[in-house]
Structure 1
Amino acid sequence: MNANPTIHDVARAAGVSIKTVSNVLNDNPKVGPATRLRVRQIVDEMGYRPNLSARGLRSGKTGVIGLAVPSLRETYFAELADSVIRAAAKRRLRVLIEQTNGDRELEISILSGGQMRFTDGLLFSPAAIGQQDVDVLTTGDPLVLLGERIFGGPTDHVTMHNTSSARAAVEHLLDIGRTRIALIGAPEAIADDASSASLRERGYRQALESAGIQYDPQLVVRGGTWVRETGVAAIRRLIADGTGFDAIFALNDTLALGALRALAQAGLHVPDDVALIGFDNLDEGRFSMPSLSSVDPGRLEIAETAVDLLVNRIQERDGKSPPKTVKADFKIVKRESTGFKGDDNLVGGG
């Protein structure tokens, strides 16, 4: 068998014309079901893959969209990429992924053409550029923004309810009787910006204020990247400082998993001594001991909505419809780390 079969090989094996094979691959309704099935079987058996560059020259479309994220080592972005790939596959699209590592110049380069020039459109989750860089989003190419770095820009934007979902997470801790709630993963300083950390800290403070509990800066551990090691260090710092706490809100699940380890090492039992809730509802949290309560920010909805919006922009002829902003619904997933069993106890919001 040819290691690199061509469309000619497929047509010869199926006993049809090259045009018929092309029509099948492009879902042209003129091809009969029997012929369509035979060609599809031959394509699968031979492992034929269309030449995207050639297809792009003929149709002006490559059938490929781009996804730019800060880091695939961050589990949230790895799971987001998986969700985007699945959403794109439903629409017969492939996904080219670019990791920016939070590098400002690389993010700007991607927006100006760069590595994504062979795609029909881009889903972009920035980490370095911010509100002051809104002008760089005016690329003229189909673009959908993800995340919280820039609001009110010229593109469609899919994001999450960071503040209200964080508030709901803290309210869950308050509802189970916890009042000394530590916050880990907070920004370096109290800030009124659109970063995830700042928006989630705002929700934390709103929940405390609404419950009549005075904000205590000693309970807030600032700084560090959102990795397990930071979660471990935050717990050790709270204990070393003699700060009393009976609950923890970690600004993402990765921090929470590190915190869970540090609490066990310190001889503190979760949830009896300390209740713990994270953010992102990563798959890993279902399997930790104890399983991790978390905010589900609507990752699947974010992926589906973002791909739909991008496809609409790719197909749009006049390019003049106003940009849309969509916030996915969230849920509080109650598990063992806050005293619940399983994933059946869901509190929605949005």
Structure 2
Amino acid sequence: MVSIDEVARAAGVSTATVSRALSGRGHVSAGAKAKVEEAAKSLGYVVSASASSLASGRTRNIGVLVPFLDRWFFSTVLSGIASALMRRGYDITLYSLTADRGERHDIFDTFLRRQRVDGVIAISLELGQEETERLVELDLPVIAIGGPNPLLTTLTVDDVAVARLATEHLLALGHRRIAHIGASPEFDIDFHIPTQRRQGFELALADAGIEVSPSLFEPADFTIEGGFRAAKQLLGKPGSRPTAIFAASDEMAIGALLAARELGYRVPEDLSVIGIDGHELGEFFRLTTVDQFPLGQGERAADAILEALESTDAETPVHRPGELPFELIVRGSTARLPQ
């Protein structure tokens, strides 16, 4: 096994310089850093995580709390976090935070207290007062994505504004009978994102002087299959059919597209469909969406946690990240209502 002394000899520097150059802690000139990295690469030297942790007091590991590992949105945010942290030499430890009170208690009172992480990122989780206090007591940087928490540094998405933008796009195209695929109560958890998106939808309709019709709402489970079933219900009801569907996620919107086509509706000639998220399949289905850049959310959260760690080292104030961006992406699934 290659030692740090061998790297130092090959680079013509001290072992202390090698340690600073490869750990990122302490000042090293650009020239010396390049020599060390080249020597380490040629010799196949890898920094010992345990030795680095003992020397620096850091694990170079970030704990990530996530509610679902099998949902596209969360896995995409997680991918952004992992990529950004790996570029800076950090690992991640995943904690799947379910609704089970016992499991959540173990994570906050046991796993996170083992001091195996330098900071914590919570993805779209509405933490209770006790859970938040447990995180604060760890005295570690914490970044929360998805909703406000007065005790934590947060990256927030204005889901009401996101839904308003999607609905206003349909209204601008002349649509007045707009259906909404939202969520059933069991999926309306953690910041009540489906409720906020429904509020944005209803506010946009109210501003346009349109009465909200209960018959134009159908709940689903934020999956393609759920959107497919919900759209079939909406399009199969007797009476005037909707001319447009706003789904609270791209996956449900894709399900709505598939249902419409199976029932013989042309999209967008007979029916316009819009979603929210910026799903990677959106371009393939030519889906109009409000992109909230989930990969970028993860990268920004990683940057924020590392900034917090560096600010702790330098004893400087931590920048509070604030609101996350979103953007209307118009593709082929929406069109002006035929006169």
For the Cα contact (< 8 Å) 1:286–1:292, is it kept in 2? yes
Q: Which amino acid aligns with 1:238?
A: L
Q: Which amino acid aligns with 1:230?
A: G
For the Cα contact (< 8 Å) 2:155–2:322, is it kept in 1? yes
Instruction: State the alpha-carbon separation in 1 of the partners of residues 188 and 294 from structure 2.
Output: 26
Instruction: State the alpha-carbon separation in 1 of the partners of residues 116 and 234 from structure 2.
Output: 49
Residue 210 of structure 1 and its aligned partner are, at CA, apart by: 0.6
Q: Which amino acid aligns with 1:256?
A: A
Instruction: State the alpha-carbon separation in 2 of the partners of residues 104 and 325 from structure 1.
Output: 30
For the Cα contact (< 8 Å) 2:76–2:295, is it kept in 1? no
Q: Secondary structure at the match of 1:316?
A: helix
> What corresponds to 1:174 in structure 2?
171
> What corresponds to 1:267 in structure 2?
264
User: Deviation string for 1:145-168 (max 9, x for gaps)?
Assistant: 1113xx343110111110011011
> What corresponds to 1:123 in structure 2?
121
What TM-score results when the alignment is normalised by the length of structure 2? 0.84
The equivalent position to 1:74 in structure 2, one of 71, 74, 90, is 71
User: Deviation string for 1:217-272 (max 9, x for gaps)?
Assistant: 111112x4211111111112223333611111111111111222121111111111
In structure 2, the CA distance between the partners of 1:47 and 1:268, relative to structure 1 (3 Å rule), is farther
Structure 2: tracts of 5 or more residues without a match:
none
> 206-215 or 308-317: which moved more?
308-317
Are 2:19 and 1:22 aligned? yes
Within a 5 Å distance, the mapping from 1:108-147 to structure 2 comes to 108-114=105-111, 117-127=115-125, 129-130=127-128, 134-139=132-137, 140-147=139-146
Q: Which amino acid aligns with 2:18?
A: V
In structure 2, the CA distance between the partners of 1:189 and 1:119, relative to structure 1 (3 Å rule), is closer
Instruction: State the alpha-carbon separation in 2 of the partners of residues 32 and 279 from structure 1.
Output: 44
Instruction: State the alpha-carbon separation in 1 of the partners of residues 316 and 301 from structure 2.
Output: 18
* Identity across the alignment (%): 29
> What corresponds to 1:43 in structure 2?
40
Structure 1: tracts of 5 or more residues without a match:
341-350
> 52-61 or 299-308: which moved more?
299-308
Are 2:297 and 1:299 aligned? no
Are 2:324 and 1:328 aligned? yes
Instruction: State the alpha-carbon separation in 2 of the partners of residues 131 and 201 from structure 1.
Output: 26
> 317-326 or 255-264: which moved more?
317-326
User: Deviation string for 1:131-151 (max 9, x for gaps)?
Assistant: 785544433321111113xx3
Q: Which amino acid aligns with 1:145?
A: A
Q: Which amino acid aligns with 1:233?
A: R
User: Deviation string for 1:277-322 (max 9, x for gaps)?
Assistant: 111112221122xx11111124355334433432343232699969
> What corresponds to 1:234 in structure 2?
230
What TM-score results when the alignment is normalised by the length of structure 1? 0.82
Q: Which amino acid aligns with 2:141?
A: P
Q: Secondary structure at the match of 1:67?
A: strand
> What corresponds to 2:308 in structure 1?
313
> 209-218 or 307-316: which moved more?
307-316
For the aligned residue pairs, the C-alpha RMSD in angstroms reads 3.2
Q: Secondary structure at the match of 1:269?
A: coil
For the Cα contact (< 8 Å) 1:278–1:292, is it kept in 2? yes
For the Cα contact (< 8 Å) 2:183–2:221, is it kept in 1? no
Residue 17 of structure 1 and its aligned partner are, at CA, apart by: 4.2
> 246-255 or 22-31: which moved more?
22-31
> What corresponds to 2:50 in structure 1?
53
In structure 2, the CA distance between the partners of 1:147 and 1:128, relative to structure 1 (3 Å rule), is closer
Q: Structure 1 residue runs of 4+, over 6 Å off?
A: 189-193, 317-323
Q: Which amino acid aligns with 2:119?
A: G
Q: Which amino acid aligns with 2:333?
A: S
Matched length: 330
Instruction: State the alpha-carbon separation in 1 of the partners of residues 259 and 3 from structure 2.
Output: 56
Q: Secondary structure at the match of 2:265?
A: coil
In structure 2, the CA distance between the partners of 1:275 and 1:47, relative to structure 1 (3 Å rule), is farther
In structure 2, the CA distance between the partners of 1:48 and 1:276, relative to structure 1 (3 Å rule), is farther
Residue 275 of structure 1 and its aligned partner are, at CA, apart by: 0.6
Instruction: State the alpha-carbon separation in 2 of the partners of residues 17 and 69 from structure 1.
Output: 42
Instruction: State the alpha-carbon separation in 2 of the partners of residues 99 and 266 from structure 1.
Output: 42
Q: Which amino acid aligns with 2:84?
A: A
